[in-house]
Structure 1
Amino acid sequence: MTHAPWWRGAVTYQIYPRSFLDTNGDGVGDLPGIIDKLDYIASLGVDAIWISPFFKSPMADYGYDIADYCDVDPLFGQLEDFDRLLAKAHGLGIRVMIDQVLSHTSVEHAWFQQSRASRDNARADWYVWADANADGTPPNNWLSIFGGGAWQWEPRRGQYYLHNFLASQPDLNFHNPAVRAAILDCVRFWLERGVDGLRLDAINFCFHDAKLRDNPARPKDQRVGRGFSPDNPYAFQYHWHNNTQPENLDFLAELRALLDRYPGTVALGEISSEDSLATMAEYTQAGRLHMGYSFELLTDDFSAAHIRSTVRQLEAQMREGWPCWAISNHDVERVLSRWGRGKSTPELANLFTALVCSLRGSVCVYQGEELGLTEAQVPFESLKDPYGIAFWPQFKGRDGCRTPMPWSDDEHAGFSRGEPWLPVPTEHRALAVVRQEADPASALQGFRRIVGWRRGQPALRWGDIRFLDTPEPVLAFTRSHAGETLLVAFNLDGKAAETELPLDGQWQPLEGHGLVQGTFVGGHLALPAHGVLFARLA
């Protein structure tokens, strides 16, 4: 694996640009802010950055509603700023991945403005249009993730259009070859500029059932929170027809063929389907996506059984592909609040980092994760997320994980000279980068140690994984590569834990990761509270 593609086993740092660093005082982060902090990112030891959308947009969904795929929104800067960012990142040895939101656009995109105007223009069938039923109701029962029906009436055409997300995010009609060609041209624009990869938002939503068949109802006892809100009616259906259609596989092959013309580039797909693990395995078969990730480890379930079961299921199905794991991102509650169960210590933050960095696959970490940030409590009057506003108070939306990065402990946390677009909580200023840089016991310094140490462990970056059946709260597995086998164990609880492991041989503890280390002697594993064990088979 010394000649493995750069992305296999890589650690990618996700940047939410609105909240990273504001350089012009308007309260919103920008591309020059990312450029300013690339040296900091390089100091983390990560391999790549993934930048959430910075394209031209009315910002109804804060960049995930794109009005021009091939231009930078003035809020974030100019194309020249992106080129400077790319050049500096590459000079520091950092790869650059960008978000591509291909399944839908903004209503302000020129394609939709033309498509909505009439039924006979050149782009009339570039979006998913359908006639009303005889009684004026939408053509089927499909629902939007963001609440309510997935169809919006358009009086100019006298038809409904499909939106799987906000009504201002109409779905493109990927059944039309011209749409697929236009989308690939937009992707090519960024590949030509030198990006190293694409994070593909909601990639299984590109195609819909051409027959517009109703989705079947889900039994009440099987309804689970979909779209991050447990009370969302979206959970009332099996979503068999509005996404994850078989035709999408051919498009993924077209997309992969394009990337293959730019050696070293990579496609990472975000996948949320009725069986996301199966879809990940299917979408990452040869000739399709390089990597996939889903939301299975972005849930509230922090247990050895859940993590073990999730990874085992994927491993059993993913024969060819490569997984990418994330435990935080811009759409879910921060992991220290979600998995921390009320605790937010540097030791726990570093345990989570070590855990996700020890699974087979690549890793995405979200900005602020390295600081051990908790979920911010954003009052209703300060909310910006349309999803949170619609579902308040049962679901408070995604703003709590999107508050600005705390660089210093001043009023606006060194993020902006002006009023930040979201408030910075007091407890985040206490975790500011400037404070943690000076503290060797901080989460930040621990993050650097773990990521740097992992870089020198081929078995953790590329090895096979085999789980051991252990009682809660112990998670244990082996990683094997090129004749080397490592034992990896985590105590997920705040109390010491012991168990027996069916492993023979002599195991030499590995040092250098900076975590609280347990012991494994004579088949007996002993782990301190939130302790770990990394050991090599002698």
Structure 2
Amino acid sequence: MTEKRKLPVPADSDWWRGAVIYQIYPRSFQDTNGDGIGDLLGIARRLPHVASLGVDAVWISPFFRSPMKDFGYDVSDYCDVDPMFGSLADFDTLVETAHLLGLKVMIDLVLSHTSDQHPWFQESRSSRDNDRANWFVWSDAKPDGTPPNNWLSIFGGSAWQWDTTRCQYYLHNFLTSQPDLNFHEPQVQEALLDIAQFWLDRGVDGFRLDTVNFYTHDSQLRDNPALAEDMRNPITAPAVNPYTWQEHLYDKTQPENLLFLAKLRKLMDRYNAAAVGEIGEDLRGMEVLGEYTGGTDHLQMSYAFELLSAKAPTASYVKDVMDQVASVASDGWACWAFSNHDVVRHVSRWGIGDAAARMYTTLMMCLRGSACIYQGEELALPEAELAFEDLQDPYGISFWPAFKGRDGCRTPMVWEPDEHHGGFTEGKPWLPVSHEHLRMTVSDQEKDPAAILHHYRRAISFRHSHKALGKGSMEDLSTDGTVLSFRRKVSGEELFCAFNISPDPAAIDAPPGKWQQVGVELGSTGTAPDGKFHLGPWQPALAVKV
């Protein structure tokens, strides 16, 4: 292990507000040693591409030591790099490279659970009276030998696994190899805060907190009630998974969670660091977003699931989502995303073409909140089709063929249209490179001025060029048929934004006042002599008040 060192912290403690964050899935970004798996030096090598997009930060999915049963989300050592990804020295190189390019670095902290190979769990399961006996969630069986309650794992089946050494059940909200930590134990909280400080001292600028509302559980272990079929949320889990059949009142989103987050926030504030929390909440998503990000005591941002929807967002849907934010989370801050490492890529999920993909990108860059784009999204990569024998994801293997898992969005990034797997590796990639993706590489799109890659750069640049889009208010949100419109305001600037979320033309009246067309490079239209904005299919209208 190399000596840890403290790198300079950013001067702007509010840097995260309105930021654009680029998510990197390390296994699939760039391999430098020919083993077919991406690594930290590969990320460092490709950071100039990320910086060229104009984003503010990178979020790096887990790279800690792990048995890789869930590809790094099962951690066996929080303070070291898994050898397949490199070393702590490689991580330091990555951070230094990012900072030289003007990029913040956010790492994915998985605090709700560990690997069953973590020394903490190995000690905890060894007896009922060791020093870490209470560090995980253990419970006796019911008199008939069944689990303590009806809680379900999001990956299928009971959330309880029998352990023959302790002759008790342990809780696992995910895989059986991912036992849940017991946040009711003060020593657990202190150990996790020490881990966060370890990485802050190495120069990270913040965290993405995995499954942040799963940290604490109901200490009485009460059963979850059933949930009516018409209230089940397909964003949380696929319809074939009975996890959605419960109202998760007791296994997550407990009030004690906020007490731990307050401690974490106090630590982060010493470093001007920021966190975005992944809140998987079926029924009260926006309400919990407000609770977790309102004020200055908890998280700065919540990773919002609403635009990870199965169907393409309509004008009325986006309005409803933003109205909910204004109603129950006006003091909170969302981080919006269309795609990530857990869902079908949105151009496939929504079945949209190039024009619609461009419009949705521009829309995201105009919404109040921060924005997160997933590697390959800037190329408009579709979901990769894989044969069953190529699957690696245990979630997809379990529910095949009704649910094909998450491998299709995790295939390697494509850099060059060559025979070496798109420039990702000289070896055999851990997942096959999509032949369709090889026609959409970074190299090819760099050479094509009309490619969507350049649209992403222009849209991000437009966001940064208008301070109202970063930190301004959102007002006069309305819909007129298929057109969504709103105003973004900050001291010294007011911007009108309208989007025709439709393959058919539409027209809306211009708002009162004098407006100057902007965003021509994004396909924005101006006002016509009749005082209307005439919008083509999937076209925005963007104007600044003069």
TM bucket normalised to smaller:
over 0.9
Offset at 1:362?
A: 0.9
Residue 27 (1) aligns with residue 32 (2): no
Distance 1:33 1:73 in 2: 14
TM-score by structure 1 length?
Answer: 0.96
Residue 332 (1) aligns with residue 343 (2): yes
Residue 292 (1) aligns with residue 289 (2): no
Residue 123 (1) aligns with residue 132 (2): yes
Match of 2:374 among 366, 372, 382: 366
Tell me, yes or no, if the aligned pair for 2:154 and 2:237 is still in contact at 8 Å.
Answer: no
Tell me, yes or no, if the aligned pair for 1:344 and 1:372 is still in contact at 8 Å.
Answer: no
Tell me, yes or no, if the aligned pair for 2:462 and 2:519 is still in contact at 8 Å.
Answer: no
Distance 2:307 2:527 in 1: 27
Offset at 1:338?
A: 1.8
Distance 2:254 2:530 in 1: 52
Offset at 1:210?
A: 0.0
Distance 1:381 1:294 in 2: 33
Specify the alignment match of 1:499 in structure 2: 508
Tell me, yes or no, if the aligned pair for 1:50 and 1:97 is still in contact at 8 Å.
Answer: yes
Distance 2:532 2:172 in 1: 55
Q: Deviations over 1:377-436 (max 9, x none)?
A: 111111111111111111111111111101011231110101111111111010001100
- For structure 1, the 5+ residue unaligned runs are none
Match of 2:534 among 516, 526, 532: 526
User: Letter of the aligned partner of 1:237 in structure 2?
Assistant: Q
Offset at 1:197?
A: 0.4
Q: Deviations over 1:68-105 (max 9, x none)?
A: 11000001000000000001111111110000000000
Offset at 1:170?
A: 0.4
Tell me, yes or no, if the aligned pair for 1:226 and 1:232 is still in contact at 8 Å.
Answer: no
User: Letter of the aligned partner of 1:163 in structure 2?
Assistant: H
Specify the alignment match of 1:269 in structure 2: 277
Offset at 1:110?
A: 0.6
Cα RMSD for the two superposed structures: 1.5
Offset at 1:348?
A: 3.0
Question: In the TM superposition, what are the counterparts of 1:134-533 in structure 2 within 5 Å?
Answer: 134-225=143-234, 227-262=236-271, 264-273=272-281, 274-286=283-295, 287-301=297-311, 302-339=313-350, 341=351, 343-345=352-354, 347-411=355-419, 412-500=421-509, 503-517=511-525, 519=527, 524-533=532-541
TM-score by structure 2 length?
Answer: 0.95
Offset at 1:517?
A: 2.7
Q: Secondary structure at the match of 2:543?
A: strand
Q: Secondary structure at the match of 2:277?
A: strand
Distance 2:526 2:384 in 1: 33
Q: Secondary structure at the match of 1:183?
A: helix
Distance 1:180 1:54 in 2: 22
Q: Secondary structure at the match of 1:355?
A: helix
- For structure 2, the 5+ residue unaligned runs are 1-10
Q: Deviations over 1:25-63 (max 9, x none)?
A: 111100010011111111111111000000000111111
Distance 2:531 2:128 in 1: 72
User: Letter of the aligned partner of 1:364 in structure 2?
Assistant: C
Distance 2:353 2:319 in 1: 24
Give the total of aligned pairs. Answer: 532
Distance 2:535 2:453 in 1: 23
Offset at 1:306?
A: 1.2
Q: Deviations over 1:285-314 (max 9, x none)?
A: 221111112211101232111111111101
Distance 1:482 1:431 in 2: 41
